[in-house]
Structure 1
């Protein structure tokens, strides 16, 4: 019978690098404090408890960091709130096998690359397209671009003085997809995915994903060959294949259901390496900001 220690144990995550939602790059670490609450569950309900807890903590921490902007991650108050939320969600999983998360401490953040203005990046992609160039030449969108750039610069100056977490929330009437409907426009979703992809993301992930969703056309996401892209169809040799219902897909996009939860509840089927599948979260967090 394995020996169970009821004392508080420590799982330390060495420093790791994460691409933020505003396309910055940060390095930080975290320490997770845990305690065995139910020795029987801790032994009988899961194999390799320590490694499973460490893997789950790493996956969730990547998701929490990659969905934030650099200004939020470097703000000490926001980081404490994020650590508390992370502790609660991680604890809800580990409680299933008798482990309690008592505390989570995040290290100081090292900024390797500053974040970008996603609104300007998306607008730049449109302007560089053939259709955008034609509209620019006839002065259809040029005045709006100039006005947008001026407003963005003013907001950036204001953010430098006072951090406002609510500023990043887009108005409801500007969303690409109407989530009030049971279905959504696949073409608009693919457009949002393509706007979120760049060379840096493709080089960082290096995988091809196939998404088969009931009620929708199959689509593939190529993040192996720069510049990457998303389109309808079936990839010849995908690294990972996702299969789910349309309802689950909608919940994941709206962040009502995390991919980790969906997988653990059997609502999301994954063919391929789990670690490769989890790397898609970097793209998912970017896409959410554009919807």
Structure 2
């Protein structure tokens, strides 16, 4: 199951930015889904450009982003939202899917960021938003590939923020770390605590965090204490809490585990 600009959280974020007066650039493999979204957004008077792109391919990203910069000009806010989950144990997950998860969940964010960063640095203005996950702070059994990619996303965001600060560039970097959502690629997932997030609440918190230039946006807010608990508790105790909270087989009901299109 994938998260993209034309679907689920990506679609809702696009609407939130449009309602705040932003002109949008949608980069997605799903051209038809983007076209439907774009038509709706144009009805409220905002400009939308669509670029079809397979975000698992670096050369295609570079080509498309060159077109974007030529056609539109500078990008003020980049939201790296594309993501995929296999919801299979490591040994049961085909190598081709693991590679796709890494290409889409982290490498696409790096290539997209590299494409827009020169313009942001030149203007000393911009905002990079990486949609990660609470699994970027907590390793979850059954989600090894996802956790690996989201840990990378958190580290990428932190290091990029540090690098830009050292360069004295006023470019914001935010990483979004929600718990499980009850829609999109985690639809069907079960969790004792916290309960799966309602999309409207998640989008509201994401937008609030972006507008406040928060470096790490935890959703729900109290999950910001997770890294502290992880640091102070014995490993066994922390793992026991995680196992109890998520259940022993979190990927069992995730619809992404049954989506053959991942291949």
TM-score (norm 1): 0.28
Give the TM-score normalised by structure 2.
0.30
More relative contact order, 1 or 2 (CA 8 Å, 6+ apart)? 2
Which has the larger strand fraction?
1
The structure in which a higher percent of residues are helix is: 2
Q: Larger C-alpha radius of gyration, 1 or 2?
A: 1
